[in-house]
Amino acid sequence: MRPELVGNIAGEFFVPSYQRGYRWGSDEVTRLLDDIHESAGNKYFLQPVVVKRRDDEKWELIDGQQRLTTLSLILRYIRHHLPTASLKYSLEYETRAASAEYLQNPTSEDSQSNIDFFHIFGAFECIRKWFEEQDHTTLAAINFYKYLSESVYVIWYEAPPEVESTTLFTRLNIGRIPLTDAELVKALILTRSRQVKRDREIAAQWDSIERDLRIPEVWAFVTGKSAPEATHITLLLDTLAGRPQTYPRPMFHTFETLRPQIEQSSEDLWNQVIDLHSLVMGWYDNRVLFHKIGYLIARGQRFDGLVALSNDCTKHEFDARLDARIRNDLNLSPSDVAELRYGNWRAEAVLLLMNVETVRRMKLSSERFSFKEHATRKWSIEHIHAQNAEPLNRAAQWEEWLRLHRNALAGLPTIDDSQRADLTRRINGALDDISAETFQPLEQELSSVFSRAGEGADIDAISNLALLSSEDNSALSNSAFEVKRRSILERDREGSYIPVCTRNVFLKYYTDAEGQQVHFWGERDRAGYLVAMQSYIAPYLLEEDAP
């Protein structure tokens, strides 16, 4: 594969019978004209042209017929205004031999002869109208020809002789041959390395790097993503190429940026890829770096930025830089943490960091925070104890909320059997004919039953918030602590992923022994939770301002 200027495309192209004829309409033709015109002389890449050399030295055109036919028509129109414009290639169609001749002079009289002529003439008319709509038609034609000759490329792919053409055509048209930056870089590196007989070794190394990056935990750690991509090694290549200076991202930016380096020394460029892969795996294997880098990536920082941060420093210095980066991301003092409330984006950052740091500090455990699980789910900040169910406004939500609290009554020790039986009976009656009038009195009574007197502290304070997987279950989100505790423990027993600190909250891990009571989330629980939170993230907090 290589880039080829449109103006340099030459030879006789044979369009075989397994392809349909020319079918581009005005939308496709106009889009091509607009895109090339808007490139304004900057490098611009069209989609690939896939060919195979025939015994008669003609090119079998496996993919790219629509583009080459349209470009041929554009060049023929340009020659009306610029006679010196050259068209170095021709097209021959196996199914309609006369199409080659018709391309030389598309006329209205013959356009109804067959479906191919109809579309060819329609495209030519679209081209003529497009140029005539420009401010200066002749000047527009001259500039357009200049772009085709100097800055507009196709990706030229020559299939090996042993490849069966129809099979390749089918695969291309169902998208199984991704002609991406990575594929182009690989092809050029292997071509260059073949001269020193290293192509097989590099191909094996390429596959090994790709396998490592495809490990779900590795990929999520280094990108914050869970979904697989066509080629994961692209992350390394994009990092070496650097970010483009223009938006939107130019097509084949990475390939075009790296191509001069590869052509000068493919060995040097490939060694940079290997070094970057080693850096990724070294970070992944280092427990401290894994958690700090993984947190920053999960918070939206970019891999290439962290690579730059690691340059020209020792491991100890890099660790200190990561701490500073996390500190800057939070930008909080201990008292600021205590003041965080529901709805503040920093609350989620604090809860995530507390979970990551809790796992990182487990000195005698091999457990690691799962950035894959974090990337796989949509997370939300949930109230550990919700005082009321005011956001619920549908009958199905009311029914689910009542069922959840009815079931939790069974293990609640703060009411006697007669009160439990009376509440259960009234809940069952309301479930038979649910309405706002039957739900609201029960909601208020149950909220009181599941909240201890004096423990109705600020519901939106961070000491009443935890990180939970977001689910379409608003009834559970608006439930009391005991209802959520039972649900969390049940999910944990079933093997669901529950963040470690969320699990600890519902196991009362942060509450001192004297304050332990299983079924409620009270002031002592909140206080212990907040102290633990501030302690775990202390290295990343700012100093308090002096009074």
Render pLDDT for 288-317 as a digit per residue (tens, 0 to 9): 999 999 999 999 999 999 999 999 999 999
Cα(94)–Cα(62) distance, rounded to whole angstroms?
13
- CB atoms closer than 10 angstroms to residue 76: 17
Q: What is the pLDDT of residues 398-441, one digit of tens each?
A: 888 888 888 888 778 778 888 888 889 998 998 988 998 898 88
pLDDT (0 to 100) of residue 277: 98
Query: For residue 192, what are the CA distances in angstroms to 189, 209, 533?
Result: 5, 20, 55
Give Cβ neighbours of residue 1 (< 8 Å, ≥ 6 apart): 48, 155, 156, 157, 179, 183, 184, 187, 188
What pLDDT is stored for residue 177 in this prediction?
Answer: 44
User: Does an H or E element contain 286, and which?
Assistant: none
pTM over 0.75: no
Burial of residue 420 (CB within 10 Å: 0-12, 13-18, 19+) is middle
Beta bridge partners of 15: 93
Is residue 175 predicted with pLDDT exceeding 60? no
The yes-or-no verdict on residue 178 having pLDDT over 50 is no
Written as six digits, the tokens of 51 are: 């060919």
Rounded to an integer, what distance in angstroms lies between the CA atom of residue 100 and that of residue 90? 8
**Would you say 168 and 223 are in contact if contact means Cβ atoms under 8 Å apart?**
no
Closest alpha carbon to 23 in 97, 87, 104, 114:
114
Confidence of residue 331 (pLDDT cuts 50, 70, 90): very high
Question: Average pLDDT, stretch 59-81?
Answer: 94
Sign of CA dihedral 225, 230, 258, 149: negative
Predicted confidence band at 527 (pLDDT cuts at 50, 70, 90)?
A: very high
Residue 167 in this model has a pLDDT that exceeds 70: yes
pLDDT at 176: 43
Mean pLDDT of 38-61: 90
Q: What is the pLDDT of residue 454?
A: 40
Q: Residue 481's pLDDT is what?
A: 85
